[in-house]
Amino acid sequence: MPRKSKTVVVRGSVLLIASLFVVSAMLRILTSAESALAEIGTADGFALPVAAEPAKPNVSDRSRTEMASLLEALRAREASVVERETDLDIRAKALDVAQIEIERRLDALEAAENRLESTLAVAQSASENDLARLTTVYENMKPKDAAALFEAMEPEFAAGFIARMRPDAAAKVMSGLNPQAAYSISVIMAGRNANAPKS
């Protein structure tokens, strides 16, 4: 429970108890005033006519009983508020611990993601280097030998290498391919960018 709410509860309790004390004091003053007036009237020889009234319960005893029960209720309420505040404090501490653990795990995940990105970048760079080296090898082969090798490859695979080759070397290799293989590779190379956005 916030500190402000606890202060309001305590102030309200103190105000209620003070009010009960004031009411009790006023009742005692009124009772004492009645006794004093009766004594004065008797001392002067004047007996104030007293009507036969039913016996009243002792106001002082009744107010004390009510005050005691009210104080007991206030103590029970205060104990309940303190218990609830303790529970809230425990929950707040548990949430703080959970928040710290979540942040720690997020940091660990971010670090793992960075490591993975670095590994992928290294792997991609290595793969790109391997492809570049292999393309250079194919470019430096005799066109007739390279053409025979490309005819043995899957057309998609062969098209990938021919697209990376220098245009003059690619032209020599394509001229050495049989017409069917050259056509298949050309169709694949032409269709790669067919779906690319025009603007």
Residue 101 lies in a domain: no
Residues 78 and 148 in one domain: no
Last residue of a domain, one of 86, 120, 155: 86
Same domain, 82 and 7: yes
Does 70 reside within a domain? yes
pLDDT tens column, 83-105: 999 999 999 999 999 999 999 99
| pTM assigned to the model | 0.39
- List Cα–Cα distances, 57 to 21, 30, 33, in angstroms: 20, 15, 17
Please report, rounded to a whole number, the percentage of residues in the chain having pLDDT higher than 90: 20
Look at the chain and report how many structural domains it folds into: 2
Q: Is residue 112 situated within a structural domain?
A: no
Print the domain residue range for 160. Answer: 141-191
How confident is the model over 34-79, as pLDDT tens digits? 665 566 555 555 444 554 455 555 557 778 888 888 889 889 999 9
Last residue of a domain, one of 44, 65, 86: 86
Q: Residue written as tokens 């949430």?
A: 95
Cα–Cα dist 60/34, whole Å: 14
| Higher-pLDDT residue of 47, 13 | 13
Contact criterion met (CB below 8 Å) for 106 and 31: no
Residue 105 lies in a domain: no
Contacts for 47 with CB less than 8 Å, ≥ 6 apart: 41
Phi, psi of 14 (to 5 degrees): -65, -40
Rounded to whole angstroms, the Cα distance separating 108 from 97 reads 17
Same domain? For 11 and 78 the reply is yes
pLDDT at site 46: 47
For residue range 110-146, list pLDDT tens digits in order: 989 988 888 888 878 777 888 889 889 988 999 999 8
Neighbours of 178 (CB within 10 A): 10
Which of 7, 4, 13, 24 minimizes the C-alpha distance to 76?
13
**Residue 14 belongs to a domain:** yes
Residue 154: inside a domain:
yes
178-183 contact pairs (CB < 8 A, 24+): 178/151, 181/150, 181/151, 181/155
Asked if 11 and 76 sit in the same domain, the reply is: yes
